[in-house]
């Protein structure tokens, strides 16, 4: 089996895909089991990729460890920025190829993959490239005969594990700040969607990164992930995924070398539509807030709480927006929702639709499979929902929204906060005081007012409660990948 495979797209065209592991700037066969990647549009095998066992993880970590100590920690900060900018340039050049592999592997619209995911990833590299030579500590006044200052120093080898729903963007959210701060990294992609990231590795070499600075492997969590999180030479783990897996990573990290941990986990985010909201605007943003990325987003606004006086009008407008979503082949330029990621997720979503119906929620729109081939599900709108239903409390991770009502803003806040999760939230109102009061009261890491699911590289993102801890993006994320060292100097001269 050779590294590069010719793979078939659902539109009849072909693309080239790497199938080996990547470390020390080389594509290397893995010792773990071969893993079939499945096209969720056709249910056919795209190709088989190599996976990493514990021996492969050791080799990748050793490459990162050696690169950090022998070369990367000595590279000038401005040069680190130039590497990141060069990588962004190459991604711009090859944006169609990257988007093609992501649409093939993940099932999301090619247009969305190109214009949102890859474009955002390019901007993320550029943002952190600009920060690379501006990472500074402080000087502190203590007593007249002492000098005190702090330094932000790289942690060393970072381990990262990323999910299948944003198979380039989530890795880049970790790669960019980790590298800008001076670390090396071993990143495990999801075994479900590795192809676009392996293409990115090819660009890492072309950009001139020293061997061992960026290493990308794939494999199953219980084999590859466990070996990475428990590795004694890894001193920081960054993870995006389920809360259940986050607990395992914390446990493994604690039992190995007490490595620093950053977790971005599940969510069941609430969107609150007040009586004075612009309902057309609220329907537009709230619809995108749940149905973007086929509902497969940790911050999806999957609970919508509507003031009882405007409920019927809002639901009407919301369903009008949902009807505009075109579900189909990701390579159709008019499609905005492709298939769900795989058969397991597909079945889970349909099961939750059945659970919601049995709990007394009413399907006001959608609720069915589309076609007989591919993992396509209609955008689904439940009404008559209350917060004790499973569909209102558990993360479905699909195109299913649950709409309930409230009488007062205080009641809406109470319902929204009655959740194990706290990743995001939204509020729609024409009163800025209400917007600020609700935003301050919601127990979540990101709140949107009169919009939803808008990201910027400068704005930190992370959760409360069982949605995890630590921040992606912005200046705060650089601190996640840094040690803060205090230096105190006793001055010889005593006046």
Q: Tell me, yes or no, whether 71 lies in a domain.
A: yes
> For residue 277, what is the DSSP state?
S
pLDDT of residue 132: 97
In this prediction, residue 299 has a pLDDT band, given cuts at 50, 70 and 90, of very high
Sequence-distant (6+) residues with CB within 8 A of 457 are 120, 123, 124, 127, 128, 473, 474
> Looking at the whole model, is its pTM more than 0.85?
yes
Residues 63 and 42 in one domain: yes
Residue 271 has pLDDT above 90, yes or no: yes
Instruction: Specify if 142 maps to a domain.
Output: yes
pLDDT at 493: 66
Rounded Cα–Cα distance for residues 467 and 462 (Å): 8
Per-residue pLDDT of 121-158, as tens digits, reads 999 999 999 999 999 999 998 888 889 999 999 999 99
Q: What is the pLDDT of residues 352-367, one digit of tens each?
A: 999 999 999 999 999 9
Helix axes of 95-106 and 195-207: crossing angle, nearest 10 degrees: 160
Distance in angstroms (rounded) separating the CA atoms of residues 81 and 133: 7
Q: What is the pLDDT of residues 192-204, one digit of tens each?
A: 999 999 999 999 9
Work out the percent of the chain whose per-residue pLDDT is above 70: 99
In this structure, the answer to whether residues 317 and 405 fall within a common structural domain is yes
Place of tokens 């080239």: 16
Q: Which two tokens stand for residue 419?
A: 């959740």
Indicate the angle between helix axes 77-93 and 119-131, nearest 10 degrees: 170
pLDDT at res. 143? 87
pLDDT of residue 11: 81
Question: For 88-119, how does the pLDDT look when each residue is reduced to its tens digit (9 = 90+)?
Answer: 999 999 999 999 999 999 999 999 999 999 99
Is residue 338 domain-resident?
Answer: yes
What is the number of structural domains in the chain?
2
186 and 322 co-located in one domain: no
Q: Which residues are catalytic?
A: 264
Question: What is the pLDDT confidence band of residue 492, given thresholds at 50, 70 and 90?
Answer: confident
Query: Which pLDDT score, from 0 to 100, does residue 144 have?
Result: 84
Contacts for 466 with CB less than 8 Å, ≥ 6 apart: 243, 265, 266, 420, 421, 422
Token reading at 16: 């080239």
Cα–Cα dist 77/67, whole Å: 16
Does 59 have pLDDT greater than 70? yes
**The CATH number of the domain where 391 resides is what?**
3.40.309.10
Q: What is the pLDDT of residue 495?
A: 57
Residue 473 pLDDT more than 90?
yes
Please report the pLDDT score of residue 130 as a whole number.
98
Q: What's the full length of the chain, in residues?
A: 495
Contact 186, 60 (CB under 8 A): yes
Tokens for 13? Answer: 């065209």
pLDDT classification of 494: cutoffs 50, 70, 90 = low
Domain that holds residue 23: 4-265+468-484
Residue 2 banded pLDDT, cuts 50, 70, 90: confident
Residues 286 and 308 in one domain: yes
- What DSSP assignment string belongs to 391-451? HHHS---SSEEEEEEESSHHHHHHHHH-SSEESEEEEE-S-HHHHHHHHHHS-SSEEEES-
Asked whether residue 176 falls in the same domain as residue 259, the answer is yes
333: exposed, middle or buried (Cβ count in 10 Å: 0-12, 13-18, 19+): exposed
Distance separating alpha carbons of residues 133 and 84, to the nearest angstrom: 12
Same domain for 369 and 258, yes or no, is no
Mean pLDDT of the 378-383 span: 98
Please provide the average confidence, as pLDDT, over all residues in the chain: 97
Separation between Cα atoms, residue 477 and residue 493, nearest integer Å: 40
């Amino acid at each position: 089996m050779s590294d590069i495979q010719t793979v078939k797209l659902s539109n009849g065209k072909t693309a080239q895909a790497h199938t080996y592991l990547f470390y020390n700037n080389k594509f290397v066969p893995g010792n773990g089991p071969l893993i079939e990647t499945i096209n969720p549009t056709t249910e056919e095998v795209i190709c088989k990729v190599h996976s990493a066992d514990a021996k492969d993880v050791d080799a990748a970590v050793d490459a990162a460890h050696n690169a950090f100590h022998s070369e990367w920690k000595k590279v000038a900060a401005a040069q680190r920025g130039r590497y990141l900018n060069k990588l962004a340039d190459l991604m711009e050049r090859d944006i169609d190829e990257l988007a093609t592999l992501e649409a093939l592997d993940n099932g999301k619209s090619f247009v969305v993959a190109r214009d949102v995911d890859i474009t955002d990833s390019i901007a993320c590299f550029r943002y952190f490239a600009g920060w690379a030579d501006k990472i500074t500590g402080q000087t502190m006044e203590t007593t007249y005969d002492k000098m005190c200052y702090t330094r932000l120093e790289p942690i060393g080898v970072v381990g990262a594990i990323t999910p299948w729903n944003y198979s380039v963007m989530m890795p880049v959210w970790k790669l960019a700040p980790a590298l800008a701060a001076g670390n090396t990294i071993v990143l495990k992609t999801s075994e479900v969607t590795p192809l676009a990231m392996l293409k990115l590795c090819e660009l890492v070499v072309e950009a001139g990164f020293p061997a061992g600075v960026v290493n990308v492997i794939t494999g199953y969590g219980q084999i590859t992930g466990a070996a990475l999180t428990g590795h004694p030479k890894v001193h920081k783990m960054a993870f995006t995924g389920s809360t259940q897996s986050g607990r395992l990573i914390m446990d493994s990290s604690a039992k190995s070398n007490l490595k620093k941990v950053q977790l971005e986990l599940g969510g069941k985010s609430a969107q609150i539509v007040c009586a004075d909201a612009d309902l057309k605007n609220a329907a537009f943003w709230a619809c995108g807030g749940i149905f973007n990325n086929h509902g497969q987003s940790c911050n999806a606004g999957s609970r919508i709480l509507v003031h009882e006086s405007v409920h019927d009008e809002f639901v009407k407008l919301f369903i009008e927006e949902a009807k505009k979503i075109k579900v189909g082949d990701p390579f159709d330029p008019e499609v905005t929702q492709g298939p769900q990621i795989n058969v397991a997720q597909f079945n889970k979503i349909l099961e939750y639709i059945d659970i919601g119906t049995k709990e007394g929620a009413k399907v006001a729109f959608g609720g069915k499979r589309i076609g007989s081939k591919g993992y396509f599900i209609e955008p689904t709108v439940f009404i008559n929902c209350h917060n004790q239903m499973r569909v209102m409390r558990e993360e479905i991770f699909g195109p299913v929204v649950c709409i309930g009502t409230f009488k007062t803003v205080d009641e809406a806040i109470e319902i929204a906060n009655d959740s194990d999760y706290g990743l995001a939230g939204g509020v729609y109102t024409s009163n800025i005081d209400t917007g600020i009061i609700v935003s301050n009261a919601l127990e979540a890491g990101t709140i949107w007012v009169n919009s939803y699911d808008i990201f910027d590289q400068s704005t930190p993102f992370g959760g409360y409660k069982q949605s995890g801890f630590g921040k992606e993006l912005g200046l705060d994320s650089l601190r996640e990948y840094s040690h803060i060292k205090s230096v105190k100097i006793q001055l010889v001269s005593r006046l």
